[in-house]
Structure 1
Amino acid sequence: MKKVVLVAIIMIASLTAKAQSYVGFLTDNYSGVNGVISNPANIADSRFKTDINLVGASAFLANDYVGVGYSDLVSSDFDYDTDAILTLSDNNNFSGNVDVLGPSFMFNVGKKSSIAIFTRARTFVTGNEFNGESIDDLDESIDESQDFIVNEGDFYASGHGWAEVGLTYAQELMNNEEHFLKGGLSFKYLKGFGNAYVTGRNVTIDYDADGATLPNNSTIGTLTSTGDLIYGRADRYDGDDYDYEVPDANGFGFDLGFVYEWRPDYEDYVVTGADGEKTVMKDKNKYKLKFGLSLTDIGSVTYKGSLVDSYNINNTITQDDYDNIEDSEDLRNLYTFTQTADDLKAGLPTALHFNADWSINNSFYLNFNTDLSMRSAGENNLRTANVFSLTPRFESKWFSFYLPVSSYQYSGLQVGAGLRAGPLYIGSGSLISTFTKNEIQGADVYAGLKVPVYYGQPKDSDGDGIPNKEDGCPKKAGPIENNGCPWGDADGDSVLDNKDQCPDEAGPVENNGCPWIDSDGDTLLDNEDQCPDVAGPLENNGCPWADSDGDSVFDKDDECPNEMGTVANNGCPEPEVTAEVQKSLNEYAKTILFTTGKSTLKDESTPVLVDIIRILNEYPNANFTIEGHTDSIGSVATNQKLSESRAQAVLQFLIDGGILPSRLTAIGYGESKPIATNMYKDGRQKNRRVEINLAQ
């Protein structure tokens, strides 16, 4: 069977491809329309006004079966049998593609939505669960006439080529400044170009070098096999005349994706126009962390009228039969063969993609990406190889550089490099490892041309943060609240109008540009008036004099400012006329002498009366009565008149000495109030007296 089945399996397994496209480039925020390949949400809120991809191609090779050094591979004397390094197991796999992105473009619809239309041609091969140990040893064992048993079991191999015309719609779903979410959906029309698959079920092969005896008694090897081989393909896929016709094959597919961005410095990317409207900078990446999740290649292509050949290989053939197998007709003669016409459904290589991107600063990023196959191994199933990539990159508007480090499910660790320079993108996910590893199990390359039309930063000639088209004074910096114009100084007082509370009237800076006024009308301007709302004298800095004790005597004149007093007593409380004072007054009064029988004061009484005036002045609010008394010598009427005259004489002396008349009252009692007997001279002398008493 080496002519048709086994040799074909060996050839496919020895040249396999990995199914990821444009490694490194798709992590770039400037990948543009190419970004729909990994996540259709990428084109929303992009850095492009529009992006046109002219052509791009990506091809990947990787496997877990055979490896070779780069120097051996490019050598003119390369020999597969001696130079190839085989990694054999009972479960060797492969998966690969060639991906051509044709003319495609994206553009924005309003501020929140974007649309892309893309064309794409893809070729994909995949194989799973081959027993590499058995396949490698089988041919050698037959050639060397050695017994050999192959326990292949189940295996699967398929290839598919198709074209896509896709429409992508992406939109912002949430934007609350710090948190941003967008989503996208791609709908794809699929046109199949060809599909074929080989499936083995419970396949075993037992080679016995001496299994049969010929008539001449010599022996020949026999090949005993069991199981089933199934070969399905589009009807026009392998015509004998090689005149290829496009099969009747169509289908639909879609991709779905979401991207979340954490934007802690959102305000740094907001431009406020002169009208106050805020606009987010389209030309800047605004996130610190970005996470993407997408599911791609959901769908299938149906090939009408395809053929499915089934071979039951439960038979024993000789080595000559094996050596003479040239095509499928020979197989049909050796094994039970059936053929059916049916519609084949070729599923797309559905995969789940997760992407995390860390913005270290405005130019350097670190990206983690993983692609996981959502298809299990099976008949006519296309299955991607799982991959995990860590890609540091430098990124700017016109240039980016990538260094992807990837771990592939089938080919191990690979290190690559790539760049984007304006319209050109080129790179390889395995460039560095290809030249540095002794064993290459995978290699890839991509390149393409596009016409990018980036968003530009709004022109701001004066650097005031307001774009020229919204700036009232585009050549002079000014605040947004003044329409982008600098503040003026209409009254020339050096206080700008935005801070001048009297913009049309000059005033000092310390009074916010207003002239000083005299609010309380005390002739002292408010800037010098310590009590600008209450009138007060200049000598007290414009404040009224205080009267702490409320006695109507200002503190400055009050000799007792914290104790209520009288005006007459300079703000101090009046002293009380005590009994001792009263007694002292009357002691003085007893010594007042008059001319006998008259009311004339004797000169020697003057010092006494002066002392009495001094005492009365100590009590300025006290009123006194001056009482005149006589003895009983003479008539009552005469004594009465004499007492009144003498009291009046004393009153007049006191008034002349400065005592207010209103404080004094003179009254005569004659002989009516004696204080001793009039029978004796001594008693009569005591009764002849003047008393000064506190008025009640």
Structure 2
Amino acid sequence: MKKIFLLIALWGVGVNLSLAQFQTGLVASNHAGVMGVTINPANTNYLNNGTDFTLFNYSTTLMNNGYYLQPKPITQLASPKIIKAFTGGSAGDGGESINQTFDRIFDLKRSFQKNNYIFADATIYGPSLLINYKKHSFGLLTSLKSISGSINMPKELEIFLIKGSSAVELQGKSFDLNKFVSGTMVYSDIAFNYSYEIAETYNTKHRLGITAHYLTGINSLDFEDKGGSKWTFVGDSTIVMENGNLLYNYSATKASTLGEMMASRGSGFAFDIGYNFLKKKKSRPTRITVCPNIRFGGKIREYQDYLYRFGISLMDVGMINFNRQTVYSEYQNASGSTKNLDQAFYKGIFALDRQLRYDFSGNPGTTFILDNKYTHYTATRLNVQFDYHFKNNIYFSFAGSHRLPMPGAISMRSPNILSVSARYETLKYELGFPISLIEYQYPIIGLNFRIGPFYMGTNHLPEIIGLRNIRGVDVFMGLKINLSNFRGV
């Protein structure tokens, strides 16, 4: 069980295009269709009475700045030998601990910053569609998301999570938890999108959009330092905590079947709201041409390029109320010692809960609060987009995403990302080259393409092909169909 939990923990605490919010690739294209509303609900497909149907979209992302792997093709990190070491070998049984197995196999190198981060997600979009009719646009999106974000991580805590409390580098060290926050949520999402062209002049167009989400919570995990918590490693795998002000919350079960694991443990809602401004290339209103030989009346919009477009959106403002198989625990002014806390972490969320309660909840001076429900807020963020049509199907764009966690609440955190990209797009083909800056400090380079209905891309191209130290990887792919070829703004 603890081997499986290790993989889940590394995927969750150490591992959605949706949360990563890279606003590059297909989502930034004029052919994004329904995927375009995932960065701004005022986006539309610019088709004449067109329908965009997405069969599926998959994305996964992992980013951090404290550890890295030496350059190697990413396929070597998913070899059967490595998978077997954690799921069918002797990791954690007898000879070496799970921490030691992980460190030996991956040979992680360190390059700690003052504040370290880990972000990850895996998102699957099921059948989704966007219909553009006259000034209106209607969308329906279905998805399953697993998202995770950790910020303000002290370097000592990163060493502890990978090498354990007996790591030589930690002995005799004291450190502040630095208001460290780590959260994970798994949930399904059914979303309804609507946008409307609110104004048109000879030079411009203005569009407002909103997306409403119904969320079903499947799992949740939250660990937070509320400030002032101090850990000291005193040897013999013992940690002494002083002035501990911690939250440890989870909604999960020891599932024996897939159905039990994916069962609902809460529900909630979220909304997105956005605005798009478009500057036409020609100063004239959109003209309608009547073509009697075309079905449904033969009225089509004249194709008209834009010079540039600008968008701003507030995304994922919402929450999930977890109230089934849920534990909320808060420690105020907790002091005392605990031994082998790292092993409790790798045994699972329930083992960690038991050890924290046993070692700290009843200590003198400690206030311990326990409940069977809590509200987990979604990863709210502010997005901006700017797209410039250079010439001959060549576009340059800029995008930014900045997190806005709910103050004083249990809230997911998304990464801060700035991106610039160049792309070439036609109705049938597309090629893009994005450059992004993670947390305003770490640059990455990507590549994406679209051929007919299939698209694929990554924002970590040098890492995937083995040309750069691996601090993160991501990939997205999907299949979509446009049921109209008439374009125009």
Q: For 1:68-147, what aligned pairs fall within 5 Å after superposition?
A: 68-71=69-72, 74=76, 80=103, 83-109=107-133, 111-136=134-159, 142=166, 144=168, 146-147=171-172
* Whole-Å separation in 2 of the counterparts to 1:455 and 1:9: 44
User: Residue in 1 aligned with 2:329?
Assistant: 309
Residue 225 in structure 1 maps to residue 248 in structure 2: no
* Structure 1 residue matching 2:354: 3-state secondary structure: helix
User: Residue in 2 aligned with 1:29?
Assistant: 30
- The question of whether the paired residues in 2 share the 8 Å contact of 1:192 and 1:250 is answered with yes
- The question of whether the paired residues in 1 share the 8 Å contact of 2:146 and 2:186 is answered with yes
Instruction: Note the C-alpha offset of 1:169.
Output: 1.2
Instruction: Note the C-alpha offset of 1:376.
Output: 6.3
Scaled by the length of structure 2, the TM-score of the pair is 0.78
Instruction: Note the C-alpha offset of 1:166.
Output: 1.4
- The question of whether the paired residues in 1 share the 8 Å contact of 2:216 and 2:264 is answered with no
User: Residue in 1 aligned with 2:305?
Assistant: 286
User: Residue in 2 aligned with 1:261?
Assistant: 278
Instruction: Note the C-alpha offset of 1:50.
Output: 0.5
Equivalent position amino acid for 1:191 in 2: T
Question: Residues 173, 307 of structure 1: CA spacing in aligned structure 2 closer, same or farther, 3 A cutoff?
Answer: same
* Structure 1 residue matching 2:43: 3-state secondary structure: helix
Equivalent position amino acid for 2:222 in 1: Y
Question: Residues 230, 419 of structure 1: CA spacing in aligned structure 2 closer, same or farther, 3 A cutoff?
Answer: same
* Whole-Å separation in 2 of the counterparts to 1:22 and 1:103: 21
- The question of whether the paired residues in 2 share the 8 Å contact of 1:415 and 1:433 is answered with no
* Whole-Å separation in 2 of the counterparts to 1:141 and 1:113: 58
Equivalent position amino acid for 2:274 in 1: G
Question: Residues 352, 22 of structure 1: CA spacing in aligned structure 2 closer, same or farther, 3 A cutoff?
Answer: closer
Q: For 1:311-330, what aligned pairs fall within 5 Å after superposition?
A: 311=331, 313-316=334-337, 327=351, 328-330=353-355
* Structure 2 residue matching 1:35: 3-state secondary structure: helix
* Whole-Å separation in 1 of the counterparts to 2:482 and 2:341: 62
- The question of whether the paired residues in 2 share the 8 Å contact of 1:10 and 1:135 is answered with no
Instruction: Note the C-alpha offset of 1:280.
Output: 9.5
Per-residue CA deviation, residues 439-480 of structure 1 (Å, 9 max, x unaligned), is 12121101111221123389xxxxxxxxxxxxxxxxxxxxxx
Instruction: Note the C-alpha offset of 1:412.
Output: 1.3
Instruction: Note the C-alpha offset of 1:29.
Output: 0.2
Q: 2:232 aligns with which of 202, 206, 209?
A: 206
Equivalent position amino acid for 1:164 in 2: D
Question: Residues 388, 285 of structure 1: CA spacing in aligned structure 2 closer, same or farther, 3 A cutoff?
Answer: farther
Equivalent position amino acid for 1:309 in 2: S
* Whole-Å separation in 2 of the counterparts to 1:323 and 1:33: 44
Instruction: Note the C-alpha offset of 1:258.
Output: 1.2
Question: Residues 443, 24 of structure 1: CA spacing in aligned structure 2 closer, same or farther, 3 A cutoff?
Answer: same
Q: 2:198 aligns with which of 149, 153, 173?
A: 173
Matched positions, count: 436
Instruction: Note the C-alpha offset of 1:26.
Output: 1.0
* Whole-Å separation in 1 of the counterparts to 2:454 and 2:40: 21
Per-residue CA deviation, residues 228-254 of structure 1 (Å, 9 max, x unaligned), is 4321122xx133767536234111211
- Structure scoring higher RCO (CA < 8 A, sep ≥ 6) equals 2
Scaled by the length of structure 1, the TM-score of the pair is 0.56
* Whole-Å separation in 1 of the counterparts to 2:183 and 2:13: 15
* Whole-Å separation in 2 of the counterparts to 1:223 and 1:136: 14
Per-residue CA deviation, residues 645-673 of structure 1 (Å, 9 max, x unaligned), is xxxxxxxxxxxxxxxxxxxxxxxxxxxxx
- The question of whether the paired residues in 2 share the 8 Å contact of 1:150 and 1:206 is answered with yes
* Structure 2 residue matching 1:26: 3-state secondary structure: helix
Question: Residues 286, 239 of structure 1: CA spacing in aligned structure 2 closer, same or farther, 3 A cutoff?
Answer: same
* Structure 2 residue matching 1:372: 3-state secondary structure: strand
Per-residue CA deviation, residues 49-98 of structure 1 (Å, 9 max, x unaligned), is 11111111111111111111331862779873583222223421223322
User: Residue in 2 aligned with 1:251?
Assistant: 268
* Whole-Å separation in 1 of the counterparts to 2:457 and 2:261: 34
State percent identity of aligned pairs.
21
Gaps of 5+ in 2: 83-101, 293-297, 363-367
Q: For 1:153-192, what aligned pairs fall within 5 Å after superposition?
A: 153-192=178-217
Question: Residues 442, 321 of structure 1: CA spacing in aligned structure 2 closer, same or farther, 3 A cutoff?
Answer: closer
* Whole-Å separation in 2 of the counterparts to 1:56 and 1:189: 19
* Whole-Å separation in 2 of the counterparts to 1:8 and 1:425: 29
* Structure 1 residue matching 2:20: 3-state secondary structure: coil
Equivalent position amino acid for 1:154 in 2: K
- The question of whether the paired residues in 2 share the 8 Å contact of 1:156 and 1:379 is answered with no
Q: For 1:535-546, what aligned pairs fall within 5 Å after superposition?
A: none
* Whole-Å separation in 2 of the counterparts to 1:344 and 1:268: 52
Per-residue CA deviation, residues 160-206 of structure 1 (Å, 9 max, x unaligned), is 11111111111111111211111111112111111121123432222
* Whole-Å separation in 1 of the counterparts to 2:180 and 2:237: 26
- The question of whether the paired residues in 2 share the 8 Å contact of 1:424 and 1:450 is answered with yes
* Whole-Å separation in 2 of the counterparts to 1:324 and 1:187: 39
Q: For 1:36-75, what aligned pairs fall within 5 Å after superposition?
A: 36-43=37-44, 45-46=46-47, 49-71=50-72, 74=76
- The question of whether the paired residues in 2 share the 8 Å contact of 1:48 and 1:452 is answered with no
* Whole-Å separation in 2 of the counterparts to 1:324 and 1:264: 62
Question: Residues 396, 106 of structure 1: CA spacing in aligned structure 2 closer, same or farther, 3 A cutoff?
Answer: same
Worse-superposed segment, 118-127 or 146-155: 146-155
Question: Residues 342, 72 of structure 1: CA spacing in aligned structure 2 closer, same or farther, 3 A cutoff?
Answer: same
* Whole-Å separation in 2 of the counterparts to 1:329 and 1:348: 27
User: Residue in 1 aligned with 2:253?
Assistant: 238
Residue 426 in structure 1 maps to residue 426 in structure 2: no
Equivalent position amino acid for 2:394 in 1: F
* Structure 2 residue matching 1:335: 3-state secondary structure: helix
Q: For 1:516-535, what aligned pairs fall within 5 Å after superposition?
A: none
Equivalent position amino acid for 1:106 in 2: L
Q: What RMSD, in angstroms, separates the aligned Cα atoms of the two structures?
A: 3.6
Q: For 1:546-585, what aligned pairs fall within 5 Å after superposition?
A: none
- The question of whether the paired residues in 2 share the 8 Å contact of 1:101 and 1:118 is answered with yes
- The question of whether the paired residues in 1 share the 8 Å contact of 2:205 and 2:278 is answered with yes
Equivalent position amino acid for 1:80 in 2: D
Please state which structure has a larger fraction of its residues in strand: 2
Equivalent position amino acid for 2:112 in 1: L
